[in-house]
C-alpha cells in the first residue's frame, strides 16, 4: 500500500505488467500514456491522473510514473489503475492520502531518527522539562528555545504596567494598562511618548491620547454624555409643554396654518385668558366695524358686521377737564 503526502508530488513504480494472452510474459515495451493511468480519490469515480507524460519502463515489466499535487489533493483512500486491454492485464495499487502534518510526523521525524516501528521512541539531545511552569522552556540548550510562553504572557495576577512599555513587559501587564488607560480608572498625568500616534501606537493608545490631558471619565465618558443628552431632552420636552401647540408643530407649515385660520367674528369682549386668535379677531372687528357714540349720554357701541347687535358697549365721559374713555363690556 502507498502512503501519500497530501498536496505533494510523488514518483513511484508499478507492475509487473503481464501479457494479456498468457498472463505470464512481462511486457517491457508498452507505451503507457497519461490516459491509460487512472486514479480514484477517496471512493470517487476514476479519472486519468493529472500529471502528464508516459510511464517509463524500469525492468521486468515494472514502470515508473509521477503523481502531481492535484492527484494527491484529497485525503482518504487512493486507487491507481493501469490498463491496456489489448496488451496487458490490469494493474491496481491501493494507497492512502494523509494530511501533511501527520505524514511528516510519521515518515519524516521517525524515518530520520531510525525508528523501526516497534518499541518506544527516545528523542535524544533535549533536556527533560519538569513541573508546571512553561518558563522552563526556552532556556538556552534545553532543546526548545523559542517558546517561553509564561515569560511573554505573564500570570493573570500580574499588575498593570505604567508608562512606556519595554521588552520586559508581559502581555497581561500591557493589556491591563490599556484597559486602565481606556477606562480612565488609573490615568497618568503625562502621556508617554509611545502614545503619540506618530510612533505607531495601537488603536487603544491613539484613542486614549486623543482624549487629551483634561479628560475625566466622571464627566467626559460616553456614558455620562448620554445621560446629559437625556437630561437636555427632558428639559426641551418640559419647555414644549409650556408653549402653544402652534409653536411646537412638527413642521413649519403647521405653524403657519394655525396662524392662517379663518377669523371668527366676536360676540363680546374677549377675556384675558382666551387665545390670541380671539383677541386678534376682536381688534380686527374694532378697526373695520361700525361704532356709534351718543354725544349726550357718552354711550358707545361696537356693532357687528350685520348691524343687528352690539359686540361690545362702553360709556365715555367728559367733565370739561378730563375725557374718560370707558371700558368696553
Nine cell digits for residue 146: 523559542
Q: What angle do CA 220, 224, 228 make, to 5 degrees?
A: 110
My answer on whether 9 and 90 are in the same domain is yes
My answer on whether 22 and 95 are in the same domain is yes
Phi-psi region of 23 (alpha: psi -120 to 50; beta: other; left: phi over 0): left
Output the DSSP codes for 266-308: -SSPPPTTS-HHHHHHHHHHHHHS-EEE-TTT-EEEEEPTTSS
Instruction: Considering only residues 161 and 214, tell me which one the structure prediction assigns the higher pLDDT.
Output: 161
Output the DSSP codes for 11-22: EEEE---BBTTT
What is the CATH classification number for the domain harbouring 71? 2.60.40
* Global pTM value: 0.37
The residue among 70, 100, 130 that closes a domain is: 100
My answer on whether 14 and 92 are in the same domain is yes
Is residue 217 situated within a structural domain? no
The helix/strand count (H/E) of the chain reads as 9, 13
Is residue 177 situated within a structural domain? yes
Per-position b or e across 28-58, b if 16+ CB within 10 A of its CB:
eebebeeebbbbbbeeeeeeebebeeebebe
Nearby residues of 132 by Cβ (< 8 Å), 6 or more positions away = none
pLDDT score of 261: 63
pLDDT digits (tens, 9 = 90+) for 44-74: 999 999 999 999 999 999 999 999 999 999 9
The Cα 43–Cα 78 span in angstroms is 8
Domain range for 44 is 2-100
Please compute the mean of the pLDDT values over residues 188-208 and round it to a whole number: 52
Structural domain count, the chain: 3
Amino acid at each position: 500500500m502507498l502512503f501519500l503526502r497530501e498536496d505533494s508530488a510523488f514518483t513511484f513504480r508499478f507492475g509487473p505488467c503481464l501479457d494479456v494472452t498468457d498472463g505470464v510474459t512481462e511486457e517491457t515495451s508498452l507505451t503507457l500514456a497519461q490516459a491509460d493511468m487512472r486514479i480514484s480519490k477517496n471512493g470517487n469515480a476514476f479519472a486519468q491522473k493529472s500529471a502528464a507524460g508516459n510511464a517509463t519502463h524500469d525492468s521486468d515489466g515494472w514502470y515508473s510514473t509521477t503523481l502531481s499535487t492535484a492527484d494527491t489533493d484529497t485525503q482518504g483512500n487512493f486507487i491507481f489503475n493501469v490498463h491496456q486491454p489489448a496488451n496487458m492485464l490490469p494493474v491496481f495499487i491501493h494507497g492512502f492520502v494523509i494530511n501533511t502534518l501527520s505524514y511528516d510526523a510519521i515518515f519524516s521525524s521517525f524515518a530520520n531518527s531510525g525508528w523501526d516501528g516497534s518499541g518506544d521512541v527516545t528523542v535524544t539531545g533535549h533536556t527533560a522539562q519538569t513541573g508546571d511552569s512553561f518558563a522552563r522552556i526556552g532556556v538556552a540548550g534545553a532543546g526548545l528555545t523559542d517558546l517561553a510562553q509564561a515569560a511573554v504572557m505573564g500570570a493573570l495576577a500580574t499588575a498593570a504596567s505604567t508608562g512606556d512599555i519595554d521588552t520586559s513587559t508581559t502581555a497581561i501587564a500591557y493589556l491591563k494598562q490599556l484597559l486602565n488607560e481606556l477606562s480612565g480608572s488609573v490615568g497618568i498625568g503625562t502621556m508617554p511618548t509611545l502614545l503619540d500616534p506618530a510612533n505607531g501606537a495601537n488603536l487603544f493608545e491613539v484613542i486614549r491620547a486623543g482624549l487629551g490631558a483634561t479628560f475625566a471619565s466622571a464627566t467626559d465618558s460616553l456614558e455620562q454624555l448620554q445621560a446629559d443628552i437625556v437630561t437636555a431632552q427632558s428639559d426641551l420636552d418640559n419647555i414644549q409643554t409650556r408653549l402653544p401647540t402652534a409653536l411646537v408643530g412638527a413642521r413649519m407649515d403647521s405653524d403657519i396654518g394655525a396662524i392662517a385660520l379663518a377669523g371668527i367674528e366676536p360676540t363680546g369682549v374677549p377675556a384675558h385668558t382666551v387665545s390670541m386668535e380671539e383677541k386678534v379677531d376682536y381688534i380686527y372687528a374694532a378697526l373695520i366695524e361700525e361704532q356709534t357714540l351718543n354725544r349726550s349720554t357718552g354711550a358707545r357701541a361696537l356693532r357687528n358686521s350685520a348691524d343687528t347687535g352690539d359686540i361690545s358697549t362702553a360709556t365715555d365721559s367728559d367733565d370739561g377737564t378730563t375725557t374718560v374713555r370707558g371700558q368696553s363690556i
